[in-house]
Amino acid sequence: MVSTHDPQRPDPDALLLQIKKQEESQRRGKLKIFFGASAGVGKTYAMLEDARKRAMDGVRVLVGYAEPHIRPETEALLLGMDILAYKIIEYNGTTLKEFDLDAAIEKAPELILVDELAHTNAPGMRHTKRWQDVAELLAAGIDVYTTLNVQHLESVNDIVERATGVKVKETLPDSVFQSADEVQLVDLPPEKLIERLEEGKIYAPDRAAAALRHFFSMGNLLALRELALRRTADRINQDIDTLRQGHAAAKASAVSERIMVCVGPSPFSANLVRTAARMAAAWKAPWIAVYVEVQTSSGLSEAARQRVTRTLNLAEQLGGEVVTLAGVSADVEIIAYAQRRHVARIIVGKPAVRGWRRWLHRSFVDRLIQRSGDINLELIREDADRTSTAPLRSETERWDLRGLTWAFAIAGFNTALGIILCHVLGLSNINVIMFYLLGVIWISARYSRFVGTMTAVVSVALFDFTVVPPYYSFAVSDTQYLLTFAAMMATGIYISMLATRLRRQELLARSRQQHVEMLLKSSRELIVCSDHKTLLKVSVEHVAEFFASPAGVILLGPAGRPVVAHASPDLVLDDKELGVADWVIRHGEKAGAGTSTLPSARAIYLPLKGVRSTLGALCLIPATSAQLTYPEQMRTVESFAAQMAMAFERIMLSEESQRAWEQTEREVLRNTLLSAVSHDLRTPLAAITGAATSLLQAGDVLTAEIREYLLHTIAQESMRMERLIGKLLDMTRLEAGETRVARELFDVGEVIVSAVDRWRQNDQHRAFKLDIADSLPQVSGDPLLIEQVLSNLIENAMEHAPSESPIEIQAMTRGSMVLIRVMDRGPGLPPHDTQRIFEKFFRGGANASRSAGLGLGLAICRAIMQLHQGSISARNRDGGGAEFQVLLPTLTG
Amino acid sequence: MANAAAVILVVEDDPPIGRFLRAALDANGYRVLEAATCAKAMMLFNQMAPDAVILDLGMPDCDGMEVVRHIRRLAGTPILIVSARGHERGKIEALDAGADDYLTKPFGIGELLARLRVALRRPIRMDEPSEGMVTVGDITVKPDSREVTVAGRQVHLTPHEYRLLMVLLRHAGKVLTHKQLLKEVWGVGYGFETHYVRIYMNQLRKKIEPAPSQPRYIYTEIGVGYRFNAED
């Protein structure tokens, strides 16, 4: 690959990444690893010494965990230091002392010492590995000092095993080692180490002898020391590179060639992955571990499947990208994917197939080589003696009794048919061959390849025995038949192979289709959810149905406590389980059954990760403990969780914007209200004040006529103000939901008459034309509120219509409703605002500024009608004027 | 004015309103007693036996209802309730307890004086219907024969309509709540079937009102009840 930019100029992306990393590490604690070739080199001692120095500088240091069987000179260093109590765990009758993570975080020291980074925690602790505890400490902003021996590094695990013959079980992902802020090598020449061991300074004397024999041989120690030195050197190189990239010389190989490693169910795959990781580290190349599902996983034995999962997990831990492909043949898929991702180098295991099969059967590697084109292939020798002989295919496929029974039955039937055809009807035995082949196809299409092959073999044997002369003997008189047998056998076996492959593809396609269908269906269903209650319900039902197990969604409640937001009825979670959910939400990583964090939980918890934060956790109790170890199942749950989180976030964002919109709407309303109140209430007040003060000051001078006029003004304007305030109060009450509708039966006619009466007294000259239908049904509701509606409508009409024009009011039955029409001959409604007139503070008409209202009257009407499940609408009348229609439900409605 | 020296007890805690009531009542030839607390109101009532009471329901030291009940225990003195807007419940409760009429703040003085006049006249009418014939405007009722004529035209009333009309006449000018009418016309067992009242009132209006859409006799007090208007 060719880098196009100037090698002297730093890559801006790389710089950005570096800054980002720096920023992140400002918030995170710093990790320092005291690294050694083996136990006894003095790592803990060096760590404690360093920590004491820091403590003297005023740093708050806490000894989180130091190995219990500590050596005397080391113990002296612990004197006077703040030491955290162990967490005591009872397990299978033994008492284990473990690091107490929660207590440590609670104490919140600036620096904490945790010995033995590669340690595996006792069952029942939050994390399975101590380095996960350390990661949490770092995330909490606490600096950590820890110790590590080289043999625990995952990527050198196989080298250590080969060099020392000891398989180290406790391993640490290299990424943890890589990401450490500082690595300090604690070195001691092997001779000195052996000396110390013999002096009993490392282990008690009885154990020292055993240790010497097993592990601390000169050869081993030399090998380990070399490894440790090399790893430290690698890290130094890495540091220098980072520095250089920042300065100027970003190397062209920074965008280096991708490496791909092919993972299979063979136990050797783990070593392949380690090799790939080491190569990638050496070349600073990104790498991908690829597994191709050629048949459904159910075709693999349980052990093989778990091996694949373990190997892929290992690759992930070592910093590789993990990809699972599915397809008809592994070589095609691998090469296609490699080309797509611009992979330069593929690492494959060299198969240990020997003898004649090598010739008969072109291996996967052969096919890969043929297809690889310009991609380099790296063949790594498989360790023949260590390749597990564990069967890769399920046992059930081999000894399928039902299949075999059918195979023999079909072969028997064909034989009987052959006997009839040849011996009774005297036909040529060639015809019988066709029937046998038909039988093989039929069997192969339904049962395993083994059964298919067996059918072919048995068929040939029976054919020979019954219809090939000499009859009823396996002997063959005509050697020509041998050729027939061979052809028949080959055809049978080949057909059975083809049929089996077809069936596998079908199964594979079906399983993938299920996966895709589930995701498709769920995405369709999730997309139509418009509020998060439905979303929760839909997604929980979906997951529960697909996995046939109880599921639920957990969100953080008001007090920051996890709360089950929605769950299948059969999902019961105790406090301990909710604690796991809490952890998942806070850390944004999956945990629980089938994972490496809190694996003792009954359910698995997946984070619902949004762009900004983790929104909640999806919880699923697997039907069987093995269910979620299938990679494709886990993948489905994970894809679903991702989908759900997206839908969740979408809804949350839309709800948020809705709230923001309502907020601005409220602001606008408040401003309108303020200006309305200040203007409209002040106008009558000004008139009153004016009139009253004139009377007070010049009452004697004014003529009786003017005095009367002023007094009238005061009275009228006061009443106007009273109406305004009344409306403001009404609107406020209606909006606050304080107005309760008194549900009683009342007569619409009475209410109309009463409302008209109110206004008739105010304006003696106005004509009202009432037309109230006989026998109107009684209406249920609050008569006072309905009278208010009518009164507002009449007031509105009186304001707008010329005083000589009549106001018409009609009431009639309209279906199950009562319709009231209030009509005037005023200027009518503004043409485009027939709906807006019902909005608050909207004032229509030319004489808007002089109108007595605040623009609240009609808004109040609408609010009251909504309370009554009725409606109000307005339109312009033929011949001019406005018409308001009020529809009130009756009891029969 | 026939009873020029009628004594009115004004129970009101707001000084400006109290002052304006006193001025208006004085000017119209009434004698005014003022009480700013319930306790004083009850004391004054006991001592002075006023002819009518104007009572603000929202008193500071007690619920105005107590004053209504106190007065009704002692006498049938007309009581005019003054209430703030939006206190419909209290108003109806007071009317049920025996108050005669109500006014909602703010009110014009003309309105108050008109109501007061009606209230003061009413008790006289209370004992009268025995005299053989009752005449209000165009309506004449002969209680003995249960004959009702409107503007000389005889109308047929069902027993319930008749009883309803008689109750209204007997309490002319007074606001009668739906509940009170139910009890008076249908009996004590009724209390919630207020729609009966509305249905019969509707029928009655059609028979006696010259124009039901613009009532002359029977006024509706929305959400409260009815009042029979005997004035012209």
Tens-digit pLDDT profile for residues B53-95: 999 988 877 888 889 999 999 888 999 998 876 677 788 888 8
User: How confident is the model at residue A778, as a pLDDT?
Assistant: 84
pLDDT value at position A10? 55
Q: Do A745 and B106 touch (CB under 8 A)?
A: no
Contact check, Cβ <8 Å, B194/A744: yes
Q: Is A742 on the interface with B (CB under 8 A)?
A: yes
Query: What residue of A is the nearest CA neighbor of B89?
Result: A742
**Most distant CA pair in chain B, distance:** 54
Mean pLDDT of A481-497: 83
What are the structure tokens assigned to A135, written together?
């990661």
The domain B7-126 having CATH identifier 3.40.50.2300: the answer here is yes
Task: Using an 8 Å CB-CB cutoff, list chain A residues near B199.
Answer: 747, 778
Residue of A283, A444, A442, A237 lying closest to A378 (CA atoms): A283
Distance (Å, whole) CA A14 – CA A203: 47
More confident residue, A390 or A708: A708
**Do B220 and A754 count as a contact with CB atoms less than 8 A apart?**
yes
Mutation site for A-interface testing, chosen from B89, B200, B222 by largest number of A Cβ within 10 Å: B222
CA distance B206 to B197: 14
Do the beta carbons of residue A437 and residue A491 sit within 8 Å?
yes
Residue of B nearest to A811 (CA): B213
Q: At what angle do helices A12-27 and A218-247 cross, to 10 degrees?
A: 120
Residue A211: the pLDDT is 65
Q: Does B15 touch chain A (CB under 8 A)?
A: no
Chain Cα centroid distance, residue A774: 66
Closest partner residue to A772 (CB to CB) among B85, B195, B213 is: B213
User: Best mutation site among A747, A764, A766 for testing chain B: the one with the most B CBs within 10 Å?
Assistant: A747
Q: Are A742 and B86 in contact (CB < 8 Å)? A: no
Kindly state whether B88 is in contact with chain A, defined as any CB-CB distance less than 8 angstroms: yes
Identity of the residue in B86, B106, B213 whose CB atom sits nearest the CB atom of A753:
B213
Q: Give the pLDDT confidence score for residue A319 in this predicted structure.
A: 79
Q: Which residue from A749, A786, A795, A802 is spatially nearest to A771, judged by alpha carbons?
A: A749
Predicted confidence (pLDDT) at residue A573 exceeds the cutoff of 90: no
Question: Hey, what are A194's tokens?
Answer: 């052996």
Average pLDDT over residues A1-30: 61
- Name the DSSP class of A679: I
Listed range (A398-402, A756-760, B11-15, B60-64) with the worst mean pLDDT: A398-402
Residue with the bigger pLDDT between B39 and A374: it is B39
Domain ranges in chain B?
7-126, 129-228
**Mean pLDDT to the nearest integer, A235-245:** 67
**Contact check, Cβ <8 Å, A726/B85:** yes
Interatomic CA distance for residues A145 and A399, integer angstroms: 56
Q: What angle do CA A203, A206, A209 make, to 5 degrees?
A: 80
Residue of A nearest to B205 (CA): A750
Centre a 10 Å sphere on the Cβ of residue A293 and count the other Cβ atoms it contains: 20
Q: Verify whether the Cβ–Cβ distance B194 to A745 is below 8 Å.
A: yes
Would you say residue A845 has pLDDT above 70?
Answer: no
Distance CA A794, CA A884 (A): 10
Which residues, at least 6 apart from B228, have a Cβ–Cβ distance to it below 8 Å? B136, B168, B169, B171, B172, B173, B174, B176, B217, B218, B219
Q: Which residues of A809-847 are buried (b: 16+ CB within 10 A; e: fewer)?
A: bbbeeeeebbbbbbbbbbbbbeeeebeebbebbbbbbee
Task: State how far the Cα of A95 lies from the Cα of A93, in Å rounded to an integer.
Answer: 7
Q: Which residue has the higher pLDDT, A748 or A844?
A: A748
Of A744, A747, A787, nearest to B202 by CB-CB distance is: A747
Q: Which of B88, B195, B213 sits opposite A784 (nearest CB)?
A: B88
CA-to-CA separations, A360 to A353, A354, A641, in angstroms, rounded: 11, 11, 47
pLDDT band at A125 (very low <50, low <70, confident <90, very high): confident
The count of CB pairs under 8 A between chains A and B is 56
pLDDT, tens digit, 9 for 90 and up, residues A378-416:
888 765 444 444 444 444 455 677 888 888 888 889 888
State residue A809's pLDDT score.
93
- Exposure class string for A170-194: b at 16+ Cβ within 10 A, else e: ebbbbbbbeebeebbbbbbebeebb
Closest to A722 (Cβ–Cβ): which among B106, B199, B219? B106
- For A750, which of B85, B106, B198 is closest by C-beta distance? B198
Res. A439 pLDDT band, cuts 50 70 90 = confident
In sequence order, what are the residues at sequence separation of 6 or more whose Cβ sits closer than 8 angstroms to the Cβ of residue A863? A731, A734, A735
Do B7-126 and B129-228 agree at the fold level? no
Provide the b/e sequence for A53-82 (b: ≥16 CB within 10 Å): ebbeeeeebbbbbbeeebbeebeebbeeee
Could you tell me the two tokens for A860?
């109040």
Strand partners, A87: A98
Q: Which of B85, B201, B222 sits opposite A751 (nearest CB)?
A: B222
**Beta bridge partner(s), residue B225:** B177, B221
Q: What pLDDT does residue A327 have?
A: 73
Per-residue confidence at A820, pLDDT binned at 50, 70, 90? very high
Whether the predicted pLDDT of A297 surpasses 50: no
Taking the CA of residue A855 and the nearest CA in chain B, the distance in Å comes to 21
DSSP code at position A300: B
> Does the bond joining A7 to the residue before it have cis omega, within 30 degrees of 0?
no
Residues A876 and A316: their CA atoms lie apart, in Å, by: 73
Helices (H), ranges, A569-630: 575-587
Determine how β-strand A604-609 pairs with β-strand A807-814: unpaired
The mean pLDDT of A254-280, rounded to a whole number, is: 80
- pLDDT tens digit string along A150-165? 888 888 887 787 777 7
Contacts of A644 (CB under 8 A, 6+ apart): A522, A526, A535, A539, A553, A608, A618
pLDDT at A538: 86
| Residue pointed to by tokens 């698995």 | A604
Mean pLDDT (chain B) is 84
**pLDDT > 70: percent of chain A:** 85
The rounded distance, in Å, linking the Cα atoms of A340 and B148 is: 105
Helix, coil or strand: residue A887: strand
Over 60: is that where the pLDDT of A850 sits? no
Encode pLDDT of B192-230 as tens digits: 677 788 888 888 988 888 887 788 899 888 888 898 887
Alpha helices, DSSP H only, in A763-800? 783-800
Burial class (CB in 10 A: 0-12, 13-18, 19+), A657: exposed
The answer to whether A746 faces chain B, any CB pair under 8 Å, is yes
Please give, rounded to a whole number of angstroms, the shortest distance from the CA of B214 to a CA of chain A: 7
Residue A382 has a pLDDT of 66
Q: Taking a contact as any Cβ pair under 8 Å apart, which residues of chain A between 685 and 724 contact chain B?
A: 715, 718-719, 722
Residues 8-37 of A with CB under 8 A from B: none
How confident is the model at residue B30, as a pLDDT?
92
Per DSSP, helices labelled H in A284-394 are 302-317, 330-340, 356-360, 364-371
Reported ipTM: 0.75
Nearest to A787 among B201, B212, B222 (CB): B222
A787 touches chain B (CB under 8 A): yes
Between B40 and A681, the higher pLDDT residue: B40
Angle, alpha carbons A279-A310-A130 (nearest 5°): 85
- Whether B223 and A753 lie within 8 Å, measured CB to CB: no
Query: Which is more confidently placed, A101 or A350?
Result: A101
Please answer whether residues A119 and A148 qualify as being in contact, where contact means their C-beta atoms are separated by less than 8 angstroms: no
So what's the architecture of B129-228 in CATH? Answer: Orthogonal Bundle (1.10)
B191 close contact with A: CB closer than 8 A: no
A846 touches chain B (CB under 8 A): no
In chain B, residues with a C-beta closer than 8 Å to the C-beta of A754 are 220-222
Q: In this complex, is the C-beta atom of A725 within 8 Å of any C-beta atom belonging to chain B?
A: no
Of B106, B195, B220, the CB nearest to A778: B195
Q: Among A732, A738, A750, A785, which would you mutate to test the B interface (most chain B Cβ atoms within 10 Å of its Cβ)?
A: A750
Q: Residue A279: enclosing H or E segment and its boundaries? A: helix A269-283
Domains of chain A: 12-247 (3.40.50.300), 256-386 (3.40.50.620), 399-506 (no CATH), 740-889 (3.30.565.10)
Cα B23 to Cα B21: distance, rounded to the nearest angstrom: 5
SS3 A231: helix
> What integer is the mean pLDDT of A13-25?
63
Interface contact A750, partner B, CB < 8 A: yes
Query: Considering only CA atoms, which of A737, A724, A742, A865 is closest in space to residue B88?
Result: A742
As a whole number, mean pLDDT of residues A438-446 equals 83
Cβ proximity of A615 and A649 under 8 Å: yes
Please give the C-alpha separations between residue A777 and each of A246, A688, A780, A783, B198, in angstroms, as whole numbers. Answer: 87, 46, 10, 14, 12
